[in-house]
Every structure is written in C-alpha cells, then in structure tokens.
A = this chain, B = another copy of it.
Amino acid sequence: MCEANVYVMNKNVEELLLERVDTIIPKDREIYLENIFGERKTIEARIKELHLVDHKIILERFEKG
C-alpha cells in the first residue's frame, strides 16, 4: 500500500500527526486528511514537502502574524 505518514513541523522537529494517510485535500488554510483506517483530521497548516517513496508528507503551521 502506498499511503504516507503525515508529520507537522514543530520547532524544527517532525511530529507525527496521522499514519497511513491516503487522501489529502487542502482547502483555504486547512488541510483535510483521511487514512486507510477511516480516521480523519483537519489541521490549519500548509503542505511543506512530499516524499512519496519514503512515505512521508510534511506539513507546517502558518506563522503567527
């Protein structure tokens, strides 16, 4: 299976947000995630990088204005 683990950058450390994610839909300032187990999360962040061969997606939160 080719799902990926989604991490959020926190002070230069990658924190695991959700494992084995299949679907990702960015909308405005939010990102909707759904994994192969049907778990869903929405987070206010943007996509920083995808590395699919490594099964890794990195998000980052917006800087506080």
A→B interface (CB under 8 Å) = 1-4, 21-26, 36, 46-53, 55
Contacts and interface: CB of A to CB of B under 8 A. Distances in A.
Given A23-B51, A24-B49, A24-B52, 11 more contacts: A1-B53, A2-B2, A2-B4, A2-B53, A4-B52, A22-B51, A22-B52, A25-B50, A26-B48, A36-B53, A52-B52
A37 to B, nearest CB: 12
A49 B25 contact: yes
Contacts of A25: 48-50
Contact of A53 (B3, B26, B51, B53): B3
Nearest to A25: B49
